Chain A
Amino acid sequence: MSLRANDNERASTTGAAFSSVGQRATDAGRAQRAIRVFLYYGVLIAAVAAFMIPIIWLLLGSLKLNAEFRAYPIKILPRSPIWNNYYDALTLVPFFVYAGRSLLLALLYTVLVVISSAFAGFGFARHRAPGRNTLFILVVAMVMVPQIVTIIPQFMLYSRLGLVGTYWPWVLWGIAGSPFHIFLFRQFFAGFPKELEDAAEIDGCTRLRVFGQIFLPNAGPVLAASAIFAFQWVWGDFFLQSIFLNESHATLAMKLASAYVDPHGNPLYTQTLAAVVIYVLPLIVVFFLAQKQIVRGVVTTGLK
């Protein structure tokens, strides 16, 4: 389960094979090895830098004056960081109203989808029933069907039912659970020892109590992973919000797709970038707090 433990084990055994070679090496060999290590890290660091420069550039942009932002020749660093952009980001538009809607939508969906998927995952993992395997194949197949294929027909239906422009679609999606999350829970619950369950059964517990008192309390990591994935998915989504909601229900993602403007209608780029940074920040904080669970979740669903 623990990736880190695996890493170290691997590092030490292969490392040993390499150092025994290293002992035979002459000075020239050692120098060659040093160059190789240097190149190895050089390539990795260059690749990481290429991945990080875009993010750093966003941060720098959010701290510039609009004049510096458009300056020619290019100005890499702001003369002095304009922290006021962040104040403007929160006050030029009703930022907290938009953020509140994003938060409401994300929490609504997260709570429902985690509960519903945990139930279904438990059902698939711990019950024998006719049709179970066929249904589970369906779950796995649905992981691979891109949502867009069903979303457009759903939009056609919802617009007839008057559900477009409300939060109901997210409630329905939440209740229906998500194949991705069901898979995550199923894999996790399938690993529990059978004895626990049997003991509870002999004591006359119902399945619901077995689930609520034995499985759920021990599912902390996977609950966390599931909740984080669900929250990220809604908070970071733009497409569904832009077609199922209208301007009067605009979320943060919808608002930030267009730039802030000054009273003359000119775009205020740097203030918008500051707002984008604030928008991204919660996800990054959560990511750093729960990295282990996230990585484990990605691995579980990515390795079949």
Chain B
Amino acid sequence: MAATSQSVNLPLRRGKRGARARRVARWFYLFIGPWLLGFVCLSLFPLLFALVISFTNYDGLNLLSVKFLGLGNYLRALQDRNAIFALQRTMIFALVSVPLNLLFSFCIALMLTRERLRARGVFRTLFYLPSIIPIVATVWIWRLIMDRNFGLINGLLSLISPGTAVAWLVDYPTMVLIIMSLWIGTGGAMIIFMAGLQGVPRELEEAALIDGANLFQMFRAITLPLVTPVVFYQLILGIIFSLQILIEPILLTGIGSTNGLMTTIPPRPNYMYMVHVYNQIFSNQRFGYGAALLWLLFILTLALTLIVFRTSRYWVYYEVEQEGART
């Protein structure tokens, strides 16, 4: 890009080029202006605002009675048994859900990219379909399956052992949440893995086969290392998003109720960290404390992400030039 733009500019004098660069820069800031303004006002400022009030007892109403608490809210969070319990539940959810989702979508992607597969497009479409369904509909769907009284699972189990009435949504809510997340998340990850797998140069795989490797050896030595960057990116995104899970556990309990849905508190096992934060802010009006909890999660997420980044050099394979992956 630089080379061609220079060749066009050659006839111009030096001073004019400086003026042109300034003009281009001005256009650049004009074009990105709305985003930049939005970023400052709608992301940066709210985050800093949250940081400031996290050191106070702000309750969302009265600015006059605001008191500076120093690190008070943060120290309180460390002793908040509900917050720590919620964090543990969130970690367990993430620890099961993220690897399960990656493994499952990767296997499906692998199956869908292999040799002469018929109806590849149909399979891909059907696996992707759940991820475009709105969350409210998704939760309805899983309620229909898991409900104690009219759910499909209990209905089918009752055919074998009459009278089965397991309260899946109450007694095993985290399991339901994990299954539901798998159902939602598989499609998107699968599509990305498929693209990654298609970026693996065919010659390398064929060379391995000709050299006498079997399919599994070829996969271990060629295919898998070449898609580790994609796995890595998905892993990071998975960790970040699963730690922030909020609306799914609330809806899973509250769906179909006739009022006060957003104040529903999920059963204890699904009492996730963000649910706790949400309750502190919206039910208890503890804005300052809620903001401190939010910042703690932000720091924790950042730390986890950095740790995963650190491990990446042991298992993520980086090519010098990644031609294939850029389709």
Contact = CB atoms under 8 A, between A and B. Distances in A.
A complexed with B? yes
A304 interface: yes
Given A129-B24, A146-B241, A303 B47 contact: no
B202 A10 contact: yes
Interface string A113-154: 000110110111001111010010011001011101110111
B12 to A, nearest CB: 11
Nearest to A61: B144
A242 B124 CA distance: 33
A72 B192 CA distance: 43
A235 B195 CA distance: 28
Interface stretch (B72-80, B91-99, B131-139): B131-139
A86 interface: no
Contacts, number: 307
Interface in A250-281: 253, 256-259, 261, 265, 267, 269, 272-273, 276, 279-280
Nearest to A128: B24
A72 B234 CA distance: 43
Contact of B132 (A70, A279, A284): A284
A3 B198 contact: yes
Interface in A49-102: 51-55, 57-58, 61, 69-70, 72-74
B160 to A, nearest CB: 11
A148 B38 contact: no
Chain B contact residues: helix, strand, loop or mixed? helix
A7 B198 contact: yes
A38 interface: no
A58 B141 contact: yes
Contacts of A4: 121
B195 to A, nearest CB: 4
Contact of A120 (B35, B111, B134): B35
Contacts of A279: 134, 136-137
> For chain A, which range describes its interface: under 10, 10 to 19, 20 to 34, or 35 or more residues?
35 or more
Nearest to B246: A148
Contact of B50 (A14, A17, A153, A257): A153
Most chain A CB within 10 A, of B35, B112, B255, B256, is at: B35
B94 to A, nearest CB: 13
Interface string B48-63: 0110010000001000
A40 B152 CA distance: 28
Chain A contact residues: helix, strand, loop or mixed? helix
A1 interface: yes
Contact of B257 (A40, A211, A258): A258
B167 interface: no
Contacts of A18: 115-116
A34 interface: no
Contacts of A236: 132-136
Given A242-B262, A259-B258, A303-B192, A175 B34 contact: yes
Contacts of A135: 32, 36
A74 B134 contact: no
Most chain A CB within 10 A, of B4, B133, B247, B256, is at: B133
A138 B240 CA distance: 17
B192 A129 contact: no
B4 to A, nearest CB: 5
B271 interface: no
A288 B124 CA distance: 12
A153 B152 contact: no
B31 interface: yes
B236 interface: yes
Given A44-B123, A283-B134, A298-B192, A54 B37 contact: no
18 contacts: A14-B202, A44-B111, A54-B145, A73-B159, A74-B152, A74-B158, A119-B32, A127-B28, A128-B25, A128-B28, A129-B25, A135-B32, A149-B294, A177-B34, A235-B134, A242-B262, A284-B133, A304-B233
Given A44-B123, A198-B8, A304-B229, 20 more contacts: A3-B194, A9-B202, A11-B116, A11-B120, A119-B32, A144-B240, A146-B244, A148-B246, A150-B42, A150-B46, A150-B47, A157-B45, A211-B31, A257-B254, A258-B258, A279-B134, A299-B192, A299-B327, A302-B233, A303-B196
